[in-house]
């Protein structure tokens, strides 16, 4: 093993690195095989005939641990020290500490993020500025960690001469340092799993959890995982994903922004302006209803999507209109049977909590509310027609602006960027560049028009270069973070 950059010897101890090395050696070949399968063209997705018995079988996942029974509001954010304290103190039931879409994976961010987790789990995390001191409150949110996706590598650590899987690196370090401590404190090692495209990728995660439990002497199935259904391929395998993780499954989450990106990338959907692709359009409605029905049939939590609005204390009119949209979104989710929802900012926790309190009430969740009325077909999941939808110059301008400015922030080490009163992350930047690519490919705009829009944005030349590379490539670039990571310091 080689560590190619300076790092804290406590975080990257010999014992911790031996765990991640074991995971990489045991699971690296399977990971490589599954990533190569992603490149195989299979036509339009469908429910798998070979797993029909799983979909039609009568089974349920293991009951949730006590501190994941009530997940009515979850807040998310990167593993930045101050942000973690504010999120844990926010009043949300769960905090997802994110090494993925809202974290720019500079080596410093990743290593410091692991130290921040260690301190947060032990209740010692603090942050001081000239104006204010930040400390944990007596009651804090349940901690869940999101490692990076299977497609990403951590180039600063080599195992047998090859970069380690970023997923196994993030998970391995977090589990090594914190799993036993969390269990001793009455919680547990809980994870969110991003970007899965099949139940086989969930099976690989289950293997990682089994190996870690064995290596660290943890109780069997003490590791629990919630899977983000944020690819259109995974939407066709929700039952199978829950089945693969069944003794460790803590539910599914509707990762709405990446899901839209995936529809463009995987099945060639040419969608109208991003603002018109709401949660009530046919393919998004089908996906979320199927998610709730699937989860509740299997005794699992269904967690709703992100409210990305950032309240502004300087513009009450903007606030009022945006908060009303947030409220409407959460009313729809709670009425559909979701057990909880996501927000990006502490000021949205009260709004979301009030809505879910009104539906869930004194109960911990709505898992007992089966959606027997829901029957979703492959055609409904692939229905991308949007009444009145249009591709406009304003839509192009917005996508270019958001995509370039977000990349500029990401390349400077900021993964959660406030842009035009919204918290943008990699997922929303992916929608922006994917829509531009699909619109150019479909003939709505030409490359010269896109480059002209890019030239008008105040951002670094590198950010503009990366955006043009991923938005105007001849063949669709799988993830913008892959070429962007090569330019990250």
Cβ within 8 Å of residue 426, ≥6 positions away? 100, 101, 102, 406, 410, 415, 480, 481
Tokens of residue 395, six digits: 């839509």
Q: Catalytic residue among 71, 146, 148, 369, which? A: 146
Tokens of residue 393, six digits: 């110059």
Euclidean distance between CA atoms 376 and 356, whole angstroms: 25
Nearest to 434 by CA among 269, 280, 284, 309: 269
Q: Catalytic residue among 98, 329, 408, 425, which? A: 425
Tokens of residue 236, six digits: 């066709």
Euclidean distance between CA atoms 112 and 106, whole angstroms: 10
Q: Quick check: is 256 catalytic?
A: no
Euclidean distance between CA atoms 128 and 113, whole angstroms: 17
Cβ within 8 Å of residue 131, ≥6 positions away? none
Task: Determine contact, residues 378/353, Cβ cutoff 8 Å.
Answer: no
Would you tell me how many other CB atoms lie within 10 Å of the CB of residue 460? 14
Encode burial over 435-453: b for 16+ CB neighbours within 10 A, e otherwise.
Answer: bbbbbbeeebbeeebbeeb
Angle at 207 between CA 190 and CA 243, to 5 degrees: 75
Q: Quick check: is 70 catalytic?
A: no
Between the alpha carbon of residue 198 and those of residues 208, 263, 418, the distances in Å are: 16, 15, 32
Euclidean distance between CA atoms 219 and 266, whole angstroms: 39
Tokens of residue 98, six digits: 């994110």
Task: Determine contact, residues 200/34, Cβ cutoff 8 Å.
Answer: yes
Tokens of residue 24, six digits: 């990489």
Cβ within 8 Å of residue 485, ≥6 positions away? 105, 152, 155
Q: Could you give the residue numbers annotated as active site?
A: 146, 425
């Amino acid at each position: 093993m080689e560590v190619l950059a300076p790092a804290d010897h406590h975080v990257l101890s010999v014992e911790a690195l031996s765990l991640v090395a074991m995971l990489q050696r045991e699971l690296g070949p399977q990971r490589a095989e599954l990533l190569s399968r992603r490149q195989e063209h299979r036509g339009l997705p469908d429910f798998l005939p070979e797993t029909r018995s799983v979909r039609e079988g009568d089974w349920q996942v293991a009951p949730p641990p006590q501190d994941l029974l009530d997940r009515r509001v979850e807040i998310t954010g990167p593993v930045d020290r101050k942000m973690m304290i504010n999120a844990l103190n926010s009043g949300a039931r769960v905090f997802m500490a994110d090494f993925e879409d809202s974290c720019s994976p500079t080596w410093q961010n990743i290593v410091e993020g692991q130290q921040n987790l260690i301190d947060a789990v032990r209740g010692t995390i603090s942050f001081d500025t000239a104006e204010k001191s930040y400390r944990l409150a007596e009651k804090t949110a349940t901690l869940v960690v999101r490692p990076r996706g299977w497609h990403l590598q951590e180039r600063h650590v080599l195992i047998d001469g090859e970069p380690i899987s970023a997923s196994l690196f993030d998970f391995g370090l977090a589990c090594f340092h914190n799993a036993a401590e969390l269990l001793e404190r009455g919680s547990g090692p809980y994870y969110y799993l991003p970007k899965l495209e099949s139940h086989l990728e969930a099976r690989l995660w289950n293997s990682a959890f089994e190996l870690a439990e064995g290596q660290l002497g943890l109780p069997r199935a003490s590791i629990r995982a919630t899977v983000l259904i944020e690819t259109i391929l995974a939407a066709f395998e929700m039952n199978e994903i829950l089945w693969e993780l069944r003794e460790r499954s803590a539910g599914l989450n509707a990762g709405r922004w990446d899901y839209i990106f995936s529809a463009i990338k995987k099945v060639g959907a040419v969608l109208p302006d991003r603002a018109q692709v709401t949660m009530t359009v046919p393919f998004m409605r089908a996906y979320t209803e199927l998610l709730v029905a699937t989860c509740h049939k299997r005794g699992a939590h269904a967690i709703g999507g992100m409210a990305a609005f950032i309240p502004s204390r300087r513009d009450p009119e903007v606030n009022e209109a945006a908060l009303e949209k947030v409220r409407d979104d959460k009313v729809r989710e709670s009425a559909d049977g979701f057990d909880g929802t996501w927000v990006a900012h502490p000021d949205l926790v009260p709004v979301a909590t009030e809505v879910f309190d009104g539906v869930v009430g004194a109960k911990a969740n709505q898992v007992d509310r089966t959606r027997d009325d829901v029957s979703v077909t492959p055609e409904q999941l692939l229905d991308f027609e949007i009444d009145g939808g249009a591709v406009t110059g304003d839509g192009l301008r917005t996508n270019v602006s958001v995509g370039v400015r977000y990349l500029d922030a990401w390349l400077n080490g900021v993964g959660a960027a406030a842009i035009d009163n919204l918290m943008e992350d990699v997922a929303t930047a992916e929608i922006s560049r994917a829509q531009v690519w699909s619109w150019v490919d479909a003939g709505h705009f030409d490359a010269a028009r896109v480059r002209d829009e890019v030239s008008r944005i105040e951002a670094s030349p590198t950010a503009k270069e990366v955006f043009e590379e991923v938005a105007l490539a001849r063949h669709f670039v799988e993830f913008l973070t892959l070429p962007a990571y090569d330019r990250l310091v």
